[in-house]
Amino acid sequence: MRTRGRPGAGPASPCGWAAGGDQACPGRRPSLCPRHSWLIYGRSNDATPSRRDGPGREQRVGGRFAAHEGRITGAGRRLLVLSHGFGTDQDAWHGIRPWADAHFRTLSYNLAGAGPGGAATYDPRRHASLYGYVDDLLDLLDEQAVERCIFVGHSVSGVIGLAAAVARPALFSRLVLIGASARYLNDGAYAGGFDQSDLDGLYAGMAANYQAWCAGFAPAVVGVPDGEAIADFSRSLFAMRPDIALATSRTIFQSDMRALVPRLERPAHLIQTREDLAVPLGAAEWLQRNIPDATLDVIEARGHLPHMTAPANVVAVLARHLAGTGD
Bridge pairing between strands 149-154 and 79-83 = parallel
Cα(267)–Cα(299) distance, integer angstroms: 19
Q: Which of 276, 297, 307, 321 is catalytic?
A: 276
Under 8 Å between Cβ of 150 and 266? no
304 noted as active-site residue? yes
Cα(133)–Cα(124) distance, integer angstroms: 11
Specify the length of the chain in residues: 327
Under 8 Å between Cβ of 304 and 217? no
Under 8 Å between Cβ of 89 and 126? no
Element (H, E) at 107: strand 105-109
256 noted as active-site residue? no
End-to-end CA distance of the chain: 39
Strand partners, 153: 83, 177
- Torsions phi, psi for 53 (to 5 deg): -135, 80
Q: Which of 155, 157, 181, 234 is catalytic?
A: 155
Under 8 Å between Cβ of 247 and 149? no
Under 8 Å between Cβ of 235 and 89? no
Please name the residues in contact with 115: beta carbons below 8 A apart, sequence gap of 6 or more: 68, 69, 89, 90, 236, 239
2 alpha carbon, distance to own chain's centre: 31
Cα(21)–Cα(36) distance, integer angstroms: 16
37 noted as active-site residue? no
Nearest CA among 107, 112, 116 for reference residue 133: 112
Element (H, E) at 101: helix 97-103
Q: Which of 68, 304, 307, 321 is catalytic?
A: 304
> Which of the residues are catalytic?
155, 276, 304
